[in-house]
Amino acid sequence: MDKKQAILKSVLKLVNREGFYHLNMKKIAAEAGVAAGTIYLYFNGKEDLINALYAMIVAEFNQVVLAGYGENSDVKDNFFNMMDRAIDFYLKEPDNFSFIEQYTYAPFLFKENQEENFLLLLPIYKMMRLGKEQNIIKDIPDTVLLSIIHGSMNTIIKLHLARKTDLRQKGAKQKFREAIWEAISRTG
Amino acid sequence: MDKKQAILKSVLKLVNREGFYHLNMKKIAAEAGVAAGTIYLYFNGKEDLINALYAMIVAEFNQVVLAGYGENSDVKDNFFNMMDRAIDFYLKEPDNFSFIEQYTYAPFLFKENQEENFLLLLPIYKMMRLGKEQNIIKDIPDTVLLSIIHGSMNTIIKLHLARKTDLRQKGAKQKFREAIWEAISRTG
DNA sequence: CAACAAAAAATGAACGTTCATTCATTTTTT
DNA sequence: AAAAAATGAATGAACGTTCATTTTTTGTTG
């Protein structure tokens, strides 16, 4: 069994269950079924561990979401595909969402790394650029488009995880997707 | 000078500057210009202090934003007013935004209190209900509307604070406001 | 107004706990 | 049997909280 992965998974589970505030090395070790010292064979310390996990999730996310991007598909299809994959990514593993949310504002990372936070937004940027070139997406500032797409997705997932809505219900994701598309596209 | 307020302000400043993770009582005391023990004259402990600050900000926010709500104004005016006030609230005191963001996902609070997180959304709910009654706002699920309004606002402020956009630029707020209104209203 | 005393507020050193990290020892693999 | 991996008790630093002591405020009296 891969202990490095087991340790990372433990952090993910614990951060989601108890929050960053209650996270400690002994718990991580216990959850992963290893000794506390073992963690230091794979990571340089707590900070390094947290940062490694973040980097892993971001990489996975971008890989999954960009896989939905077809060079030959039109902008709307790409948008729908990417939204679907992004939502599914977090619904399948809510721990990922919870971790990213908490990490973003809990600077384990130093200032220099803060830029990495915006890596998560790359897929959206790519789609927007194309849509504007083809006059399909509204001519409003990129940051406004971004805030609508990314912000609304973020919030709907939060609402879902807080059981204020249920994205697994038939048609729920589609309704959301379409509402956002109508919000950002010229014709609707 | 009101020490209780000074202590709360210190927490706000420190959380914004260094994050929850690096917050400790000694720093809070130093920043407020009091002794560590003094904090315990006004609060029952760290957790209580944090929760009190959160409650204060939410109360302020709702007061400020709901003050922009006119019983006789139409839905669009109310929406514009409330968006303006909400954005200004956070731009004027970015520490408030940073604190709320971090608090939401750092459960100092217990499960029972988690519901309070949604108090922040009350002004938006109020506006939505009216708009739907008058057939001005699109007939899409409340949660979707909410995610567009709240989520996009959240994200645009994050982008502003990260200097990816500048909401203080002439017309920037208006452009954003109008884009969101077009996204949620029937006629645009 | 000054002098004093009682009460209230504030202090910060000390305490006990928690926790990240280390490393001598043990277990497993090669 | 040598090398590599894993262990977990020990260490020391950090931190929240307490409380005996000091400082400030309030109230009273001559």
Quick: pLDDT tens for A128-144.
888 999 999 999 999 99
pLDDT over 90 at A105, yes or no: no
Q: Does B170 touch chain A (CB under 8 A)?
A: no
Phi-psi region of B107 (alpha: psi -120 to 50; beta: other; left: phi over 0): beta
In residues, how long is chain B? Answer: 188
Q: Which amino acid is at A138?
A: K
What DSSP string runs through A72-140?
TS-HHHHHHHHHHHHHHHHHH-HHHHHHHHHHHTS-SS-GGGGGGGGGGGHHHHHHHHHHHHTT-B--S
Centroid of chain to Cα B118: 11
pLDDT at A20: 87
pLDDT at A35: 97
| pLDDT mean over B123-131 | 83
CA B76 to C1' C10, whole Å: 52
pLDDT over 60 at B34, yes or no: yes
Q: What is the pLDDT of residues A36-58, one digit of tens each?
A: 999 999 999 999 999 999 999 98
Give φ, ψ of B70 to 5 degrees: -105, 125
| pLDDT mean over B5-31 | 94
- Give the integer Cα–Cα distance in Å for B8 and B3: 9
Tell me whether residues A102 and B98 touch, CB distance under 8 A: no
Q: What is the pLDDT of residues A63-72, one digit of tens each?
A: 998 888 888 8
Which residues of B spanning 10-39 put their CB closer than 7 angstroms to strand D?
A: 22-26, 36-37
Contact partners, residue B14, CB within 8 Å, separation at least 6: B22, B23, B27, B28, B31
Give φ, ψ of B185 to 5 degrees: -95, 160
pLDDT over 70 at B60, yes or no: yes
* pTM across the whole model: 0.89
DSSP, collapsed to helix, strand or coil, labels residue A47 as helix
Q: Does B37 touch chain A (CB under 8 A)?
A: no
pLDDT at B111: 41
Question: Which helix H or strand E contains A5, and what residues bound it?
Answer: helix A3-18
pLDDT at A176: 94
- Give the integer Cα–Cα distance in Å for B124 and A160: 18
C-alpha dihedral (A47, A53, A58, A61), degrees to nearest 10: -160
| Least reliable range by pLDDT among A173-177, B60-64, B70-74, B180-184 | B70-74
Q: Nearest-CA distance from A33 to chain B in Å? A: 25
pLDDT over 70 at A109, yes or no: no
Long-range contacts (CB closer than 8 Å, 24 or more residues apart) made by A44-50: A47/A108, A49/A7, A49/A8, A49/A11, A50/A11, A50/A103, A50/A108
* Cβ-based contacts with strand C at under 7 Å: A 22-26, 36-37, 40, 45-47; B 3, 33-38, 40-41
Structure tokens at B186: 């029937």
Using a CB-CB cut-off of 8 Å, the residues of chain B touching A175 are 140-141, 144
pLDDT at A51: 92
CB A172 within 8 A of CB B143: no
| pLDDT mean over A171-178 | 93
Neighbours of A130 (CB within 10 A): 16
Closest by CA to B153, choosing from B116, B184, B109, B108, is B184
Residue whose structure tokens are 């969101």: B180
| pLDDT mean over B77-87 | 93
Q: Which amino acid is at A134?
A: Q
Q: Nearest-CA distance from B102 to chain A in Å? A: 6
Helix axes B3-18, B46-66, angle to 10 degrees: 90
